Amino acid sequence: MSLSDNTAAILSAADNLLMPTYAPLQIVPDHGVGSTIVDTDGRSYVDLGGGIAVTSLGHSSEVLKKALFDQAEKLWHVSNVFTTEPAMKLAAQLIEHTFADRIFFSNSGAEANEAALKLARRHAFNNGEPERYEIISLHGSFHGRTLFTVSTGGNPNYKTGFGPAIEGITHIAPNDIQALRDAISPATAAVICEPIQGEGGVRPLDRDYLRAVRQLCTEHGALLIFDEVQTGVGRTGTLFAYEQTEVIPDVLTSAKSLGGGMPIGATLAGGACAEALTRATHGTTFGGNPMACAVANAVLDEVRSPAIKRNVHDRGAQIRDGLEQLGKEVGLFAEIRGTGLLIGAELADPFRDRAKEIQIAALAEGVIVLVAGPNVIRFAPALNITEAEVEVGIERLGTALTKVLGR
Ligand SMILES: Cc1ncc(COP(=O)(O)O)c(C=O)c1O
């Protein structure tokens, strides 16, 4: 793909000016409408990645622009020295439509989880059990990049070189009830899991397992935290994925799609633990920012509509069918899994570890897909992506696969 001087300069600036924590793909998005992005050289791409499950209503949504501009005319920021109407409206919406009794607002998924984990320890502490501070987490999980959340997450590489990890965290195999029975104890403050492990390869936890986790947490007086940063806000066909599991957590974290592209995180808690974080025990300057909350209110109104729910189901089926068709001739995929518009296609053995190569080839054909590890191609597009956009995206992916697989 040839790059203009301007595009090449921007990419080279990213190499030279930023700490190299990322390896950005070699185009530069400039603007977008719906699920189409146009780069600085005028090429257009169907966006099947949704900014990693964030742009829930696509790019340049009229509804979200209106919510943002209306709020921008009024008030941008006042800090937590005050409260504001958009923040209270959002808290009320989240409480009305979930199990939660209280909300803590922050700015990202990692911060929402940081608050959830601190809440769990503080809840035990408040109950006169300061020795109950252990956290049980699952291999393959991802909860963010702060020290507490990398210590909790299931990828040991993310902890390397940062000094001692936060102590008191045990990792066990997902979907192994006996492993949890063995690990849980009166010292367990909380068990944390994603109903579908997103970064870990779009791996759903079994329903029976989740039911057993709930039961064991209740028996041992531990909190159950669901990290719904990736699965939440309509992505799996219900507002939150827990609604499909018959399991109600004590704490749930949300971010990503909640802001539709505005940075926001929320920690939701129900029952007695919702009272755990009292004055001055936790905080953040931007949490509950009126601009982010105004947009999130509009996101929630939209994603709860029957039309979006239907679209999540229909487009999810369309992507899965499309992938099955593309993969069947050469047996490309070992498994296509996920729910609604969070889909992972795991590469079969002959194509092992080629997800990145496929992502780059797809980009060259005009379609953005995500990877989840070296062996899974991931799809997390806008919940309002159209049938035509999916059709074009899958067709372009097909062309890319033909080229990259040399057939
Ligand atoms: C399940 C889950 N939790 C937490 C996070 C961290 O969110 P953020 O990058 O907004 O801090 C992510 C991000 O990918 C995630 O998928």
Q: 148 CB less than 6 Å from ligand 1?
A: no
Element (H, E) at 169: strand 169-172
How confident is the model at residue 127, as a pLDDT? 98
Residue 199 scores a pLDDT above 80: yes
148-161, pLDDT tens digit by residue?
999 999 999 999 99
Whether the CB of 143 sits within 6 Å of ligand 1: yes
Longest dimension (CA), the chain: 66
In 3D space, the residue among 67, 242, 265, 49 whose CA is nearest the CA of residue 149 turns out to be 265
Same-domain status, 38 and 88: no
What residues contact 243, with CB distance under 8 A and at least 6 apart? Answer: none
Same domain, 54 and 203: no
Is 70 within the bounds of a domain?
Answer: no
- Judge if 286 and 336 occupy the same domain: no
Give me the CATH number covering residue 340: 3.90.1150.10
Please indicate, yes or no, if residue 191 is contained in any of the structural domains. Answer: yes
Whether 375 is covered by a domain: the verdict is: yes
Q: Reply yes or no on whether the pLDDT at 221 is more than 70.
A: yes
C-beta 144 within 6 A of ligand 1: yes
Shared-domain flag, residues 123 and 57: no
Q: Considering the domain boundaries, does residue 333 fall inside one? A: yes
DSSP state of 170: E
pLDDT averaged over every residue in the chain: 97
Same domain, 103 and 126: yes
Q: Are residues 216 and 117 in the same domain?
A: yes
On whether both 11 and 140 belong to a single domain, the answer is no
* pLDDT given for residue 407 in this prediction: 58
Q: For position 282, what pLDDT does the model report?
A: 98
Above 80 in pLDDT, residue 90? yes
pLDDT tens-digit readout, 340-385: 999 999 999 999 999 999 999 999 999 999 999 999 999 999 999 9
pLDDT at residue 232 above 80? yes
Q: Which pLDDT value is given to residue 240? A: 98
How far apart (Å, rounded) are the C-alpha atoms in residues 378 and 128?
44
Among protein residues, the one whose CA lies closest to atom 7 of ligand 1: 109
* H or E segment and range at residue 3: none
Q: Are residues 201 and 347 in the same domain?
A: no
State how many domains the chain has.
2
Give the distance (Å) from ligand 1 centre to CA of residue 50.
14
Q: Of 303, 326, 361, which residue sits at a domain end? A: 303
Question: With a 6 A CB cut-off, is 142 part of the ligand 1 pocket?
Answer: yes
Are residues 184 and 48 located together in one domain of the fold? no
Instruction: Examine the fold and report which residue of 283, 303, 323 is the final residue of a domain before the chain moves on.
Output: 303
For ligand 1, atom 4, which residue shows the shortest CA distance?
143
Q: pLDDT (tens digit, 9 = 90+) per residue, 3-23?
A: 999 999 999 999 999 999 999
**Mean pLDDT, rounded, for 190-197:** 98
Specify the pLDDT at position 329. 84
What spacing in Å lies between the alpha carbon of 38 and ligand 1's midpoint?
26
Strand ranges across the sheet with 370-371: 333-339, 342-347, 376-379, 370-371
Ligand 1 pocket residue status of 255, Cβ below 6 Å:
yes
Closest atom of ligand 1 to CA, residue 146: 11
- Count of beta carbons in the 10 Å neighbourhood of residue 80: 14
Of 229, 235, 251, the residue with max ligand 1 atoms within 8 A of its CB, to mutate for a pocket test, comes to: 229
Domain's final residue, options 274, 303, 332: 303
CA of 142 to the centre of ligand 1 (A): 7
* pLDDT (0 to 100) of residue 231: 98
Short-list 97, 87, 68, CA closest to 305: 97
Question: What does the pLDDT average to over 22-49?
Answer: 98
| Cα of 213 from ligand 1 centre, angstroms | 22
Q: Tell me the three state secondary structure of residue 333.
A: strand
Is 66 within the bounds of a domain? no
Domain limits at 291?
75-303
Q: Is the CB of 227 under 6 A from ligand 1?
A: yes
In a domain, 69, yes or no: no
Structure tokens at 206: 């079994």
Domain match, 32 and 154 both:
no
Q: Is the pTM of the predicted complex or chain greater than 0.95?
A: yes
Question: What pLDDT is stored for residue 330 in this prediction?
Answer: 87
Residue 143 has pLDDT above 70, yes or no: yes
Closest to 229 measured CA to CA, from 135, 136, 111, 340: 111
Alpha carbon 252 to its chain centroid, in Å, reads 12
Structure-token pair, residue 300: 């929630």
What's the 229 CA to ligand 1 centre distance in angstroms?
6
Regarding the beta carbon of 194 and ligand 1, being less than 6 Å apart is answered yes
Tell me, yes or no, whether 67 lies in a domain. Answer: no
Best CA proximity match to 378, nearest among 356, 400, 399, 361: 356
Domain assignment present for 388: yes
Read off the pLDDT band of 406 (50, 70, 90): confident
What CATH number is given to the structural domain containing 120? 3.40.640.10
Query: Which residues does residue 322 pair with via DSSP β-bridges, in sequence order?
Result: none
Identify whether residues 53 and 88 lie together within a single domain: no
Q: How far is the CA of 266 from the centre of ligand 1 (A)?
A: 12
Nearest-CA residue for ligand 1 atom 16 is 230
Domain check: are 40 and 169 in the same one? no
